[in-house]
Amino acid sequence: MSWLLQMIEQYGIAAVFANVLVEQAGAPIPAYPTLVLTGALAADGRYAASTLLLVAVLAALIADTGWYLAGRRYGRGILALLCRLSLSADSCVRQTEGAFVRWGAASLMVAKFIPGFASLASALAGATGTSVLAFLLFDAIGAVLWAGSALYLGTLFSSTVDDLLRVLEQLGRGGLLLLALVLAVFIAGKWWQRYRFMRSLRMARISVDELYQMLQQGEKPLVVDVRAPQSQAQGRIPGAITIGPDFSEFVAGDIPLADEVIVYCACPNEASAALVARELLKRGYTRVRPLQGGIDAWREAGYATDGTP
């Protein structure tokens, strides 16, 4: 354990850079505790807080710029990849995109404080055409606020952190194992949360070909688009309606319970559509199915979209 502490003291700046870079790249290895720890060491004069802040911001900008450029090149495809890799179950539902659409590039200032949102926000900035200057400005502000708050907490509670380090040092190898156990439990907890989330989405789907045939044969299922407004403006399945987050359109009884409801989104595993479908089933609708592949599968099949609001 003393060896680990010596490594932190000797290579703290490199550790901060590597940890922040890896976390912002999407790995479930929290960098905030490392920043708090090095902030406490800075309070003892072992590091310059300004250097730690600069290194953390630089690492965050490098990782975020990578996701931004990927978003510009691959569009929503890179978002699908991020959602599949993420351990945060709530990072890929429509609220994530809705937050970015509502606040725009300014949401980057708080993205790092929201688990699972930082990488997605950077990729969304690229996919939605945010200018490089605006991206770098707001992302840098967000990185400064995020890293600066951790370093400040470290200096504020430096005596407490020092006591904790002394306890871990006294524990020797057991202290190192304890740290490894905490990290393992954190990752396992996130994985289990995602596993339960994905299990909850299991329900019967309808293919785009089936839906197209239904529409061609004159059947009139209720088609619901649950994407963010900006995405909806780029085209919807003909006849699709949108619903608000409070489901007021359904609560008002405007839509008969006997009608079949098809819900679609533009996210991996139809996550947003399945969540809305589950909510509608709770409200008494008995025939609700997510559209397999969502709007992307509909377009890939060559079927037309309606851009009318």
DSSP labels, the chain? -HHHHHHHHHHHHHHHHHHHHHHHTT-S--SHHHHHHHHHHHHTTSS-HHHHHHHHHHHHHHHHHHHHHHHHHHTHHHHHHHHHH---TTSSSHHHHHHHHHHGGGGGGTGGGSTTTHHHHHHHHHHTT--HHHHHHHHHHHHHHHHHHHHHHHHHTHHHHHHHHHHHHHHTHHHHHHHHHHHHHHHHHHHHHHHHHHHHT----B-HHHHHHHHHTT--PEEEE-S-HHHHTT-B-TT-EE--TT-HHHHTT-S-TTS-EEEE-SSGGGHHHHHHHHHHHHTT-S-EEEBTTHHHHHHHTT---B---
What was the pLDDT predicted at 145?
A: 96
For residue 1, the model assigns a pLDDT of 42
One-letter amino acid at 219 equals E
The pLDDT assigned to 213 comes to 92
- Residue 83 a catalytic site member: no
Distance CA 132, CA 205 (A): 39
- Identify the pLDDT of residue 191: 66
| Amino acid 253: pLDDT | 59
Nearest CA-CA partner of 105 in 128, 135, 75: 135
Per-residue model confidence as pLDDT tens for the chain (309 residues) = 444 455 566 677 888 899 899 888 877 778 888 888 888 888 777 788 899 999 999 999 999 999 999 988 887 667 666 666 554 544 454 555 666 767 778 889 988 887 667 788 888 888 888 899 999 999 999 999 999 999 998 887 776 655 556 655 555 566 556 666 776 786 677 667 666 655 655 678 899 999 999 989 988 888 998 887 767 777 889 888 887 666 666 655 566 666 788 999 877 667 778 888 888 888 788 888 999 888 888 988 999 888 644
The predicted pLDDT at position 37 comes to 82
pLDDT of residue 258: 61
> Taking the alpha carbons of 53, 59, 64, 65 in that order, is the dihedral positive or negative?
positive
Q: How far is CA 228 from CA 30, 101, 232, 280, in A?
A: 29, 7, 6, 19
> What pLDDT score was predicted for residue 309?
42
Alpha-carbon gap, residue 188 to 87, rounded angstroms: 9
Q: What is the pLDDT of residue 193?
A: 65
Catalytic, out of 83, 92, 265, 267: 265
